[in-house]
Amino acid sequence: MRVLVTGATGYIGGRLVPRLVEAGHEVRAIVRRPERLRTVPWARDVEVVGGDLTDAAAVDAAMRGIDTVYYLVHSMGGRGDFEDVELEIAGNVAESARRSGVGRIVYLGGLHPGEGELSRHLRSRVRVGEVLMSSGVPTIVLQAGVIIGSGSTSFEMIRHLTEVLPYMPAPRWVRNFIQPIAVRDVLHYLVAAARVPERVNRTFDIGGPDVLRYGQLMNGYAVEAGLRQRPIAALPVLTPWLAGQWVNLVTPIPRRLAVPIIESLQFDCVARDHDIDRVIPPPAGGLTPYRRAVRLALERERAGEVETSWQNTEVVGAPSDPLPSDPEWAGYRVYTDVRERECSAPAASLWSVIEGVGGTNGWYSFPLAWAIRGWIDKLAGGVGLRRGRRDPARLRAGDAVDFWRVERVAPPGDRPGFLRLRAEMRVPGRAWLEMSAEPAGQGSRYRQRAVFFPRGLAGRLYWWAVFPFHGIVFAGMANRITSEAEAGPSSTGAEVTNR
């Protein structure tokens, strides 16, 4: 079967694609930035096409010859008109699928109560499902609640709230009932949906075998993580907005992701029927209980086997354009900070230090300054420095590294090893950080360049305000990276976390 996947760079899409390939399907993925998929393990097994889902012509081109479409895109924050944008995108996909003779659309929506006012994000998901089901193309809408898996936003929020707070003052929604589902079970339903008979056109609730209060989810995590269970006090005064600020400050989850999740927890979210069992049988061995799903997620993280993560979700409001080539800077105000160092270690050793930057390894200089910058970003509603990275040793294009995004990564070979990071912290302008490792004689040469395009007067004042720290932060970073490479592997790793 020929399958088109939208949202292949997302948390679910990035895990679904290789499973569709394994199931024997021919997979095509449409993404705005094809370079983000060039280094994923399954890149050679699929056809990747570039295109924006708001562009009807691009959607039509991607839809040619397709039997089944997976619709896995959804906005978690950002512009105030996101509901209109999502309906426009859904309409483009639905109309194109109808014109192209597609036999099935599969959409992953959100579990929601049958009555009462929904949050904007849940309401938008419901409306998108309605647009797809009214397209004339048979559509299956799978409505899932809290998804538990290594790297999922919901799992990370539960984990950090539980680990950080020995006592949890919480909003009333911690008493609401939730039906979590393991990510492996979500993927089971998604893969199987491609082969459901075409006459089926409806929504299906999906959930795991446990119905728990949100507070029980937190203490269930505590048990599996070897922590003491947390006393939880439900307070009537915390609104979703205030709770979002609280989650933003005490966890790595940015406000724009925390608020929609919290808004969706204002009511009980439990599957209202189990009709899905008549169409798609449960996985062999049954659905995954909540605590086992937590245990599996922790095992995957400890083994460094996180396939996809919330960390790599695009940050709305962050610079979205790649760094222009130097000649295109003409006519723009651009500030740069360039550092070069000779290194006695080979380029491969220098590159291993560069590729390990961020996360638990830190930034190799003035950790207090980096920590303060991270807290300032969190207070401004950004992702902060605690977002970490998907893999402790390897990077690929599109990965998040704390408050940076990997724009380009190329290990050393015929050319120097090169890493470019695009800033996603809140700054009045656009910023990048580049690092490279080039063979030079018996050793190597390290080159580091920070680039900043200021926005208005605020951007210029920002650059000059932080300029005095560059001599400490950037120079120290260049010195420490080269010294780490020269010292060898024994000096890297756990010790770097203190830098």
Task: Give the pLDDT of residue 458.
Answer: 87
Task: Give the pLDDT of residue 493.
Answer: 44
Phi-psi sector, 109: left (phi>0), alpha (psi -120 to 50), beta: beta
Most confidently predicted of 67-71, 319-323, 367-371, 383-387: 67-71
Angle between helices 153-164 and 255-263 (to 10 degrees): 100
CA angle at residue 117 from 113 to 123, to 5 degrees?
Answer: 80
Pairing type for strands 404-410 and 177-178 reads unpaired
- What is the mean pLDDT of the segment spanning 343-356? 94
Task: Give the pLDDT of residue 237.
Answer: 58
Burial class (CB in 10 A: 0-12, 13-18, 19+), 298: middle
CB atoms within 10 A of CB 273: 9
Report the distance separating Cα 422 and Cα 252, nearest Å.
Answer: 19
Task: Give the pLDDT of residue 317.
Answer: 46
User: Residue 4: CA atoms inside 13 Å, Cβ hemisphere, count?
Assistant: 30
pLDDT in tens, 178-237: 899 999 999 999 999 999 988 899 999 999 999 998 889 989 999 998 888 878 777 665
CATH annotation of 326-498 = 3.30.530.20
Domain ranges within the chain, ordered by starting residue: 2-312, 326-498
**191: which 2 tokens?**
């893969």
Task: Give the pLDDT of residue 306.
Answer: 75
Task: Give the pLDDT of residue 495.
Answer: 41
CB 387 within 8 A of CB 374: no
Report the distance separating Cα 270 and Cα 282, nearest Å.
Answer: 17
Pairing type for strands 147-148 and 181-182 reads parallel
- What is the mean pLDDT of the segment spanning 379-386? 78
Most confidently predicted of 135-139, 327-331, 402-406: 135-139
Task: Give the pLDDT of residue 238.
Answer: 59
**441: which 2 tokens?**
């004689």
Higher pLDDT, 94 or 491: 94
pTM value is 0.73
Nearest to 359 by CA among 315, 394, 318: 394
Task: Give the pLDDT of residue 435.
Answer: 95
* Average pLDDT of the chain, as a whole number: 86
| CATH superfamily of this structure's domain 2-312 | NAD(P)-binding Rossmann-like Domain (3.40.50.720)
Higher pLDDT, 199 or 331: 199
Q: Which of 165-174, 222-231, 245-254, 489-498 has the lowest mean pLDDT?
A: 489-498
In one-letter notation, the amino acid at residue 104 is R
Task: Give the pLDDT of residue 156.
Answer: 83
Report the distance separating Cα 404 and Cα 423, nearest Å.
Answer: 5
